[in-house]
Every structure is written in C-alpha cells, then in structure tokens.
Amino acid sequence: MNLDLQGIFDALLEGVVVLDDADRIEFLNTEAARLLGAPAELSPSERLSEALGQDHPICGIVERVRRSGRTSIHDEVEFPQRLATPIPVDVSASILGDRNDGAIAIIVRDRSAARSLREEISERERQESYGHIAAGIAHEVKNPLGGIRGAAELLQLSAKDDRSRKTAALIVGEVDRISGLVDELMIFARGDALELERVNVHRPLDALLDLLALESGYGSIEIERLYDPSLPELEADQARLQQVFLNLARNAMQAMEESGGKLTLSTRMTLENRLVGPDGRAQPTIEIVIRDEGPGIPDAIRHRLATPFFTTKRKGTGLGLAVARHWIRRHGGRLNIESIEGEGTRVIVDLPLQPLAPPELDRTPGTLTQTGNQESPT
Ligand code: ADP
Ligand code: MG
C-alpha cells in the first residue's frame, strides 16, 4: 500500500511538528504551519527557534522537554500571530522513542473555538438570568401600574381644582415613565425577532443626530461625520440599530456635557474580519465607531458597564449599554468599548453584512458545537 503520509497528516485537525535532535524542523503538517505562522516561513530543516524567534512559547516547551526527557503538556498557550490576535493552543511535546535519536514530536491543537464558545455560554447564561429577572419584574410591576394609572386618570377627571388635576397628571406621567422602563427591560425577556431590511448604516446614524439635536444641554459639542460612502448596505433591523446608535451617542454627548468637545461618528469596512460565521469563515464586517472627548471610563467600573441598571448618572437608567449590546448581539455583531481616562471613549460596533445567528449550543454531553460568531466581553 502506498500511503500519502503528508496528505494524511495535513487532513488532521491537530497540528503535528517533528524536530530532529538539533531542534530542526523535520516535519510539519498544514495545521501546525497555520498555528505557528505562515508556512513559507517555516521551511523544514530550519531550526525552530530561528524560524519562530526564541520568544515563541513553543521554544520554551521544547527546551523543557529536552531538559527533563519527559512529555510536557500545556493548556491554552497563547501562540502569537503576525497580524492577528494570538491563538490559544493546547500543546503536548514528547521525545520520540530511543530509536529516533532524540527527535521530538509536538502536537498542537487550536482552542479558540472552545474558548469563545465558553465565553459565549457564560454570556448567554448572564443574559438569560437578566431575562428571568426582567420577566419577574415586568409581571409584578406592570399590573399594579395599570391600576394606578387608571385610578389617577379618574382622579384627574373628577378633580375639582387645578392643583389636584395637576397632581393626578403627574402620577399618570410618572407611571408612564416606569412603564417605559419596564418595557425596555422586557427586551431581555423576549426573544424579539429582528425585522430585517436592507439598511444603509448612515441612515440610522444621521437620524440619531436629528434626535440628539432635539435634546438640550449639549451646547458646545461639535459633531463630525467620517463616513465611508462606498459601504455596502447591510441586512439589519433599522429601528433597532437606530436605538443602539442613539443609546451610544447619547452616552457620548452626556460624557461631554460639562467639558464640551467633539463627537465623531465614523464608518468603514473592517479588514480584521473579527466576526466568524457558522461555517467558521470570517464574515464581511462593517465597523461603526462613536468617539467622544469626555472624561473616559475608570478601569474600576469598566467590566460593569453593560450590566443592566449600572449607572454613574444621577438620572441614568443604566439600560442604554445593556440594550445596545443586546441588539448588536442579536445581529451577530459585537460591542467593544475602549476608553482612556482623561481623553475620551471609543465605542466600536462591529456588524456583519448579514445577521449571524447567535451560537447554537448542542447540549448533548461532550458534543459542544459552535455555529456562530465570537464576541469579546465589554
Ligand atoms: P446610563 O447612560 O443610563 O447611565 P448606560 O448603560 O448607557 O446607562 O451607561 C452606563 C454607564 O456607562 C454610564 O452611567 C457611564 O458611567 C458609563 N458610560 C457609558 N458611555 C460612556 C462614555 N461615552 N463616556 C463615559 N462613560 C460612559
Ligand atoms: Mg446611557
């Protein structure tokens, strides 16, 4: 039988590298070449440390195996990538049997899908628990609110003097405000469907500027638009996107209420291809950045930003970012916040040209599959 060994190894999901006794690369399959860097760079017979640089974590592992003579196993080692974020890789390295003269075999396995799935699961569990709380609150609060409103309206109609009428109207108004809040919260409880249409992303961005113009207090804020006019349309829910951008831009404006400054809205196609579709391929992605020159966000509170009800504002609801994040995720996109204290904040929204389903979890034990994109935590 004439086996094509290289072909077989190249078909493996694991990367395989074999080094000779002087750590020269004797064998390398396609997956190993991908995880370690461009294949062209790693021509066989080159020394590993010369090909990758002595700093590459795999060199340290090989050194350890040489020293101890034992197999060395490492979980989620970060393999640096030239133009992208590092890939977490499980590595196991061992000396091949006596007859192989000190050759070392290294098996490497990409863990990024598993890692993003793990993050996705905990994020989803968080969202689900918000949903339970929201549903509970909505039920307990909405019904009595209806009663209060009705009673206040009756009072308003039967009031004999102006003051009573105004007081009753005040009750109605405040009840409506709470109702609105509960409705907003209900977004987490319902699996709202998106109403998809072709959207020029500049349309909802411009619309929000019109809306913001109606709000007072943003006197000395300059607005700059850096739109890429060649952006393709995306398939999205325009009303939801408008809500997202409004929430984010309003935060930016509020951050500059006292200091003044410039709000910059910019759009472009991203080249980094950070969103991954069900087939595991990078998806064409539009990036929208909302930048302000406000005070920035202290490190200490950054991880709490998108938690419902977290606010640092006297009259804030703490729902703006949570809701924005929810709708971005429903589109299969991502929300990232970068902030430098004293300089300002950049809120980055990545949206796929076509909505991606959020990852499906196959709950059968041992067969977790991922069919969606990954998201980094805000
Ligand atoms: P709210 O605006 O009602 O407080 P959000 O969810 O919109 O709720 O925002 C939560 C918190 O995140 C804000 O209270 C604020 O502390 C912080 N934040 C959000 N955006 C910005 C920004 N552009 N600059 C500074 N802080 C921000
Ligand atoms: Mg807000």
pLDDT in tens, 168-178: 999 999 998 88
Give the pLDDT band of residue 378 (cuts 50, 70, 90).
very low
Give the pLDDT band of residue 372 (cuts 50, 70, 90).
very low
Here the CATH number for the domain that contains residue 240 is 3.30.565.10
Total tally of structural domains belonging to the chain:
3
Ligand 1 near 374 CB (within 6 A): no
Ligand 1 near 316 CB (within 6 A): yes
Ligand nearest to the CA of 300: 1
* 12 and 47 share one domain: yes
Residue 279 sits in which domain range? 194-352
The residue-averaged pLDDT of 308-316 equals 86
Of 62, 95, 110, which closes a domain? 110
* Residue bearing the bigger pLDDT, 198 or 373: 198
* 343 and 227 share one domain: yes
Question: Which of 221, 311, 325, 348 should be mutated for ligand 1, with most atoms under 8 A from CB?
Answer: 311
Of 67, 90, 110, which closes a domain? 110
* 199 and 322 share one domain: yes
The residue-averaged pLDDT of 190-199 equals 81
The pTM (predicted TM-score) of the whole model is 0.62
Q: Whole-number mean pLDDT of the chain?
A: 84
The pLDDT of residue 104 is 94
Of 93, 110, 127, which closes a domain? 110
* Domain assignment present for 378: no
pLDDT tens for residues 74-114?
999 999 988 778 899 999 999 987 666 789 999 999 998 88
Q: Which of 151-160, 177-186, 343-352 has the lowest mean pLDDT?
A: 177-186
* Domain assignment present for 363: no
* 198 and 347 share one domain: yes
Ligand nearest to the CA of 345: 1
Cβ neighbour number for residue 345 with a 10 Å cutoff: 22
* Domain assignment present for 303: yes
* Domain assignment present for 364: no
| Distance from Cα 211 to the centre of ligand 1, integer Å | 18
* Residue bearing the bigger pLDDT, 359 or 251: 251
| Distance from Cα 96 to the centre of ligand 2, integer Å | 60
Ligand 1 near 312 CB (within 6 A): yes
Q: Residues of the chain with pLDDT > 90: what percent? A: 45
Question: Which of 177, 253, 290, 305 should be mutated for ligand 1, with most atoms under 8 A from CB?
Answer: 305
- 3-state SS, the chain, equals CCCCHHHHHHCCCCEEEEECCCCEEEEECHHHHHHHCCHHHCCCCCEHHHHHCCCCHHHHHHHHHHHHCCCEEEEEEEECCCCCCCEEEEEEEEECCHHHCCCEEEEEEECHHHHHHHHHHHHHHHHHHHHHHHHHHHHHHHHHHHHHHHHHHHHHHHCCCHHHHHHHHHHHHHHHHHHHHHHHHHCCCCCCCCCCEEECCHHHHHHHHHHHHHCCCCCCEEEEEECCCCCCCEEECHHHHHHHHHHHHHHHHHHCCCCCEEEEEEEEECCCCCCECCCCCECCEEEEEEEECCCCCCHHHHCCCCCCCCCCCCCCCCCHHHHHHHHHHHCCCEEEEEEECCCEEEEEEEEECCCCCCCCCCCCCCCCCCCCCCCCCC
pLDDT tens for residues 228-281?
999 999 999 998 898 899 999 999 999 999 889 999 999 999 866 567 776 767
| Distance from Cα 312 to the centre of ligand 2, integer Å | 10
Atom of ligand 1 nearest to the CA of 308: 6
* 148 and 103 share one domain: no
* 129 and 216 share one domain: no
